[in-house]
Amino acid sequence: MNTRFPSAPVRPLPAVAGIGLRAEHYDVVLREQPALGWVEVHSENYFGSGGRPLAVLEAIRARHPLSLHGVGLSLGSTDPLDRGHLRQLKALCDRFEPALVSEHLSWGSVGGVHANDLLPLPCTTEALNHVCARVATVQDALGRTLLVENISRYVDFRIPSLPEGEFLATLARRTGCGLLLDVNNLYVNARNHGVDPHAFLAALPPAAIAEIHLAGHTEKTLRGTSLLIDTHDRPVCPAVWTLYAEAIARFGPRPTLIEWDSALPPLDVLLAEAARADAVLEGRRHAA
């Protein structure tokens, strides 16, 4: 296969840790060229037609495998699929040859007005059929497998629903899409809504899980009730590391991302978190 990136050609991502790259770390990564297993960026940050972000991504991609992680396609929205957004994503895939492309099991717009947030879907049959059709359309348009990620949520709908793990498993089975398991999101939902994280993991088809996300969250207390908010602004908490080890024991080593999006620390802090995930992955390889 022809590639514009001979020193980091397209291939399945290695089952090692990668980091989410944000603009605050562009300079240090370009200057110090740290060893990175792979890099993930938010697709929409590179939708411009030029400018520094695209120039930086060229330089990064020349050295590292890349994952494109979308936050704005609004897979679960009942609005028509945004074809312009999809075209821009396709153009980005053609240019940067990412190893993985992912989106969220969420929605973000109604009547063309966007929340620019990952809003929760009820896990109903109606929503499942809708998302299956949308994922199939996106995969056809991109000509590749899409990964779909479980999100954190702060509401629980009183609507007859499937368990979320079963919803995702059916989505993967019907569309052939991959799954991006966000262990922090699973933990947040377990704490916020009493989701059983072990049952959730048990419901997922191991072969579909192509990537794992790890991130930090913030605990707020409102009138004595604790609510975890998925803030991506601090280290991964001990309980999430434990749940991650359980997931890796169950599914085997998987490419694992350290996601940090606000109050970014020095790059070394991200690299230390990545090294910790690598140790878990390495341990699993030896156990196998």
Partner 1 sequence: MLRELQRDFLAAVRGSAPPRLQGLIAGRGLEPAERLMVYANNHRLTLTAALAGAYPVLARTLGEGGFHALAARYLLAHPSRSGDLHGYGAALADVIAAAPPPQAPWLAELARLEWAVHTAYFAALPPALALDALRGVAAQDHPRLRFVAHPALGLVASAWPVLAYWEAATDGADDPLPPPAPAAEWLLVLRAGADITIGRLDAGTYTLLAALAAGATVAEACADALAAAPDLDPGTALGGLFARGALVGFHL
Can you tell me whether residue 114 is helix, strand or coil?
A: strand
Q: Please, which residues bridge with residue 212 across strands?
A: 181, 256
- Tell me the window of 7-15, 32-40, 72-80, 250-258 that interacts with partner 1 (CB under 8 A): 72-80
Per CB under 8 A, the list member of 4, 9, 11, 52 interacting with partner 1 is 52
Cα gap 257→244, rounded to integer Å = 12
Using the rule CB under 8 A, which residue among 11, 144, 173, 193 binds partner 1? Answer: 193
58 counts as binding partner 1 under rule CB under 8 A: no
Residue 40 vs 230, nearer CB to partner 1: 230
Buried b / exposed e over 68-107, threshold 16 CB at 10 Å, is bbbbbbbbbbeeebbeebbebbbebbeebbbbbbbbbbbb
Which of these segments, 30-38, 46-54, 265-273, 280-288, binds partner 1 (CB under 8 A)?
46-54
Query: Which residues does 267 contact at the CB level (< 8 Å), separation at least 6?
Result: 25, 28, 29, 32, 34
| Count of C-beta atoms within a 10 Å radius of residue 30 | 13
The correct pick among 13, 36, 57, 107 for binding partner 1 (CB under 8 A) is 107
Output 127 or 209, the one with its CB closest to partner 1: 127
Which parts of this chain interact with partner 1 (CB under 8 A)?
44-45, 47-53, 55, 71-74, 77-78, 82, 85, 88, 107-117, 119, 121-122, 124, 126-127, 130, 154-159, 192-194, 222-225, 227, 229
